[in-house]
């Protein structure tokens, strides 16, 4: 199932996440630092949601308390809790 998330406090504008049976099939991040966002997206493809959250949660970006990976972890947590569609 495809989910869309609007990140807060980062350069990216939207995250489109495809999940099937608690496995991340694909992630497309619109905006942000292309090399980093594409890299993170490819690295977590095929990963279980809980493992991706564990690895990405809490990563800062420079002076910010959040980052695109951290926002992705937040999106995955909300998907897991069915707070977004």
pTM to 2 decimals?
A: 0.94
pLDDT digits (tens, 9 = 90+) for 26-75: 999 999 999 999 999 999 999 999 999 999 999 999 999 999 999 999 99
Top pLDDT among 85 and 11 is at 11
Query: pLDDT at position 51, please?
Result: 98
String of b and e for 62-77 (b: at least 16 CB within 10 Å)?
A: eeeebbbbbbbbbbbb
Architecture of domain 2-80: 2-Layer Sandwich (3.30)
- Going by pLDDT thresholds of 50, 70 and 90, the confidence category of residue 85 is low
């Amino acid at each position: 199932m495809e989910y869309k998330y609007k990140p807060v406090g980062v350069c990216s504008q939207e995250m489109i996440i495809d999940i099937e049976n608690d496995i991340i099939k694909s992630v497309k991040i619109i905006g942000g630092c292309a090399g980093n966002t594409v890299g993170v997206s490819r690295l977590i493809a095929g990963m279980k949601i809980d493992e991706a959250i564990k690895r990405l949660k809490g990563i800062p970006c420079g002076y910010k308390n959040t980052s695109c990976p951290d926002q992705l972890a937040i999106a995955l947590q909300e998907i897991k809790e069915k707070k977004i569609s």
